[in-house]
Amino acid sequence: MSLITSMIRRPLDPGYAEAAKRRRRAGLPQATPTRTVLVVVMALLIGFMFAVSAKALRPKPSVAAQARAELIERIETLQSGAAQSEAQIRALTKEVRGYEEMALAQSGAPDLTTQIEQYALQAGLTPLAGPGLTLTLDDATSAGTDAQAGTRPSGGFDSGRVAAGDLQIVVNGLWGAGAEAISINGQRLTSTAAIRFAGQAVIVDFRPLSRPYVITALGDPEQMQRVFGPSFAGVYLDQLTRQYGIRAAFAASKALTVPGDSSMHVEFAKPIPSDVPSARPPTTGSGS
């Protein structure tokens, strides 16, 4: 109770009271609540000025960065539109094939459905499924750093990056190992498809791909691995992993799929009607 009574009678700490007496003896003005409020306002004002200055000094996005962001947005928009167009093409192609089969059945002509399907299969228009291998290629973990400085003869890429030439060699090796159908990141490789590079980007059939690069090859997985390993492509891939740190991983599967190539179409070649005689002149004998 004595402590509570003391606090009620003398709410001001003795030290503060003694400091106030010294100020009065020295002729200094007594501290007032107004002075305290003024100090707080000044502190807030100074803090606000520091915040405004820091925001003004913050580096603004450069013109190049803004242009890059706009370009990325346009590319993503175009890629999305291309994907929708490809889905529509696949749906329309399926519908056209249905009409072709119906017209052939109603015409009374010999059934060419099997022959058409065989040609579509050979041209890469038909999606395929079956056993096979997946080979995932990815850049080295230190790609682009000093540890991977320098370039390789495969297109001038950084030594730790997967180049278009690397994919070409590996894919050709898989074809030679017995692959029956191959796709890279869902892009079917046919006789008209090509693996190229534009700057530092890898392009397959005029479509840019992003890492990692997943190569799907249909065929006998055991035979492909057995033939691919000692081949030139297998030795080349082993050198990429050992010398440059490029990551590669094989995986066998009993159920893989590769899509059909929706971009395949004929522009100039036309079938020759059976009732039109050949334009080649007849051959003549050499006898008398």
pLDDT in tens, 26-85: 776 666 555 666 777 788 888 888 888 877 777 666 777 778 788 888 878 887 887 788
- Answer with the residue of higher pLDDT: 152 or 223: 223
Q: 202: left (phi > 0), else alpha (psi -120 to 50), else beta?
A: beta
Whether the pLDDT of residue 193 is over 50: the answer is yes
CA–CA separation, 208 vs 203, rounded Å?
A: 4
Distance of CA 119 to the CA centre of its chain: 32
* Band of residue 98 on the pLDDT scale cut at 50, 70, 90: confident
- Specify the CATH class of 130-261 in words: alpha beta
Residue 110: phi, psi to the nearest 5? -55, 145
The kind and range of the H/E element at 275 are: none
pLDDT at 65 (0 to 100): 76
Whether the pLDDT of residue 211 is over 80: the answer is yes
**Chain segment 261-282, per-residue pLDDT in tens:** 766 555 555 555 555 444 444 4
CB 215 within 8 A of CB 135: yes
Query: Model pTM?
Result: 0.57
pLDDT at 281 (0 to 100): 45
Q: Report in angstroms the alpha-carbon separations of 88 from 53, 124, 193, 260.
A: 54, 18, 21, 13
**Where do we find the tokens 């890279």?**
184
pLDDT at 287 (0 to 100): 43
pLDDT at 279 (0 to 100): 44
Q: Where along the chain do its domains lie? A: 2-57, 61-123, 130-261
Distance of CA 242 to the CA centre of its chain: 25
Distance of CA 156 to the CA centre of its chain: 20
